[in-house]
Amino acid sequence: MRTRNLLVLLIMLLIGACVDPLKVPDIALEEGLVVDGAITDQPGPYTVQLFSTLSLDGDLDKRKYIPGATVTISDDHGHTVTLTENATGTYQTDADEIQGVVGYTYQVKITLGDGRQYESTPVLLEPAGTVDRVFFQFQENSINQNDLTKPQDAFAVYLDATGTPGASNFFRWRWKGTFHYIAFPELRTRGVGMVEIPDPVPCSGWVYTDTAGLEQIGPCECCDCWAPQYSTDALVSENDFVSEMEFKTVRIAQIPIDKRLFYEKYHIEVEQMSVSQDIYAFWKLVKAQQQSATDLFQPAVVKIKGTIRCTSDPGEKAYGIFSASAVTKNSVFLRRLDIPKGIPPIDTLKTDCRQIYTGATNQRPPFW
């Protein structure tokens, strides 16, 4: 509940409250193995990644992967597959070697190069249920804590879902957003002495020569792009308050009304993944951690254990999960027309559109 943050914010301003970075005592980083792996009922390959925990001020994009391990996935029906290390620390199954089956129980076992052994809590692959509907609502002034320097309005995206009778119906949701935007790489310029001269990006299809000036020599390859966005929030079903197995109007995402995101329209695809009780408990704690960590009141400490343990040395720290899920999907387009207000035109991005967002591509997605 953001109420409390606002309350404090309010009084803070009254009495000159302030926020400063806290100098934290030097804390020795507790390095431990992290396992991030999953098997689903969708076709493989499935990936298990092994890496170390990172210090919080470190660069998260530079994961410290752990190579040279032996990783196996086994089920309770006598199958065991050994994964291949395709990239450093990234272990994959062969494409059709194994596929998750509802009702089977899966477990990962890991032996590191130095002999330390780990295993995951066995997880039951439960049915996925259905995502009946993904829908949205325009909400004014609903984000960024009314910080007027940032977008205020947003689409709230919801879903209605149904579980499977007889199953435990613990779900985790994740989403992928896709939006189309344009750039103007042909308008790039560069300074020569005191003057700016055109310097179109080659992929724009335009060239500039002193003699002929600007000239289009081909189609633009980097003017129209589609960029993905992924959920970073832990989203799990609230099974506490649901007597049956229907989940109504579960808020999944909040997409800010932004001139680039809504240059044309925004596609959001939601995946509903069944999770076992242990994995559900893990995500639930992550959710609690995310909700409370930025609370201005004393944030609740949420220690998250995960489902991995070291079998060769019980004192050795291990983090992460190996999950087994059935997956079902649904999606919806958020259109510019659905915004009941005018929004400004897209800004003039004078560069290769693929370089603006990570994962951006100039290939129109099949569903577009």
Partner 1 sequence: MPLTDIKDGQPLAEVLVELEKSYPVRFFFASEWLEPYTVDSQFKGMPIKSVLDELLRGSDIRYSYRFGYAVIFIRDPQRALEHEARLKTAIAKKKTIESRELGDRRKYKPGNRATITGNVKDESTRHPMAGVTVLVNDVETTATDEKGNYTINVLAGENIIHFKSVNFRERVVDARIYSSATLDIILEEAPTILDEVLISEQAVLNRRISQTSLRITDMKRAPTFLGEVDLIKQVQNQPGVTTVGEVAQGFNVRGGGVDQNLVLYDGVPVFNTSHALGFFTAFNADAVSQVSFYKGGIPAEFGGRVSSVLDIKSKEGPLDKWHGGGGIGILSSYLTAGGPVKRDTSSIMASVRSSYSDWVLKTIKSNYQDIQSASVSFYDASLKYTHKVNNKSKLTLSGYTSYDRFSLTNDTLYTSRNIAASIHYDRTFTEKLFGTLSVSFGKYTYGTSDDDPTQAYDLSYGITYPSVKLDFNYEGEHKLSFGVHHTWYDFVPGRLEATQSESIVKNIDMGHERSSESALYFSDAFYWREKFLLEAGLRASFFNRVGEGVTYHYAEGQPRLRQNITDSTVYKGGESMKTYFGLEPRVSLRYTLDAFASIKLGYNRMYQYMHLISNTAAVTPVDIWQSSNTYFKPQIADQVSLGYYRAINENMYEAYVEGFYKVTQNVLDFRDGASLILNKNLETTLLPGDAEAYGVEVSSSKIKGRLLGSLSYTYSRSWRKVDGAWEEEKINDGNRYPSNYDQPHVVQLNWRYGLSRRIFFSGTFVYHTGRPMSLPISGYIVDGVPVITFSDRNKYRIPDYHRLDLALIIEGTHKRKKILDGTWVISFYNAYGRKNAYAVFFQDNGKGFYNPYKLSVVGTIVPSVTYSFKF
Per CB under 8 A, contacts with partner 1 among 284-313 are: 284-286, 288-289, 292-304
**What's the CA gap between 109 and 132, in Å, rounded?**
36
What residues numbered 73-132 form the site for partner 1, per CB under 8 A? none
84, 86, 145, 312: residue in contact with partner 1 (rule CB under 8 A): 145
Nearer Cβ to partner 1, position 146 or 189? 146
Judged by beta carbon, residue 64 or residue 259, the one nearer partner 1 is 64
Contacts of 361 (CB under 8 A, 6+ apart): 225, 226, 227, 354
> Which residues does residue 180 pair with via DSSP β-bridges, in sequence order?
226
Give residues 193-252 in contact with partner 1 (rule: CB under 8 A): 230-234, 240-241, 249
The residues in 13-72 that bind partner 1, with binding defined as CB under 8 A, are: 13-22, 24-25, 27, 29-32, 34, 36, 38, 51, 53-57, 59-61, 63
E strand or H helix that includes residue 9: helix 3-14
Residues 258-277 that bind partner 1 (CB under 8 A): 277
To the nearest whole angstrom, how small is the minimum distance from the Cβ of residue 116 to partner 1? 18
Closest to partner 1 by CB, 171 or 263? 171
Alpha carbons 271 and 276: distance in angstroms, whole number: 16
User: What is the CB neighbour count within 10 angstroms for residue 333?
Assistant: 15
> How far apart are alpha carbons 368 and 353 in whole angstroms?
18
Token couple for 91: 């272990």
340 near partner 1 (CB under 8 A): no
Q: Which two three-digit tokens encode residue 93?
A: 């199954």
Give the Cα separation of 197 and 188 in Å (integer): 9
For 190, the enclosing helix (H) or strand (E) is: strand 189-192
- Shorter beta-carbon distance to partner 1: residue 204 or 325: 325
Residue with smaller CB distance to partner 1, 152 or 361 = 152
CB of 58 to partner 1, least distance (A): 9
For residue 12, CA distances in Å to 16, 20, 28, 142, 149 come to 6, 13, 34, 22, 19
8, 187, 346, 356: which one binds partner 1 (CB under 8 A): 8
Number of chain positions touching partner 1 (CB under 8 A): 81
- Smallest distance from partner 1 to CB 6, Å: 5
Q: Compute the distance between CA of residue 144 and CA of residue 106 in angstroms, rounded to an integer.
A: 41
Phi, then psi, of 205 in degrees rounded to 5: 85, 0
Among 77, 78, 96, 148, binds partner 1 (CB under 8 A): 148
Q: Which of residues 150-179 bind partner 1 (CB under 8 A)?
A: 156, 158, 174
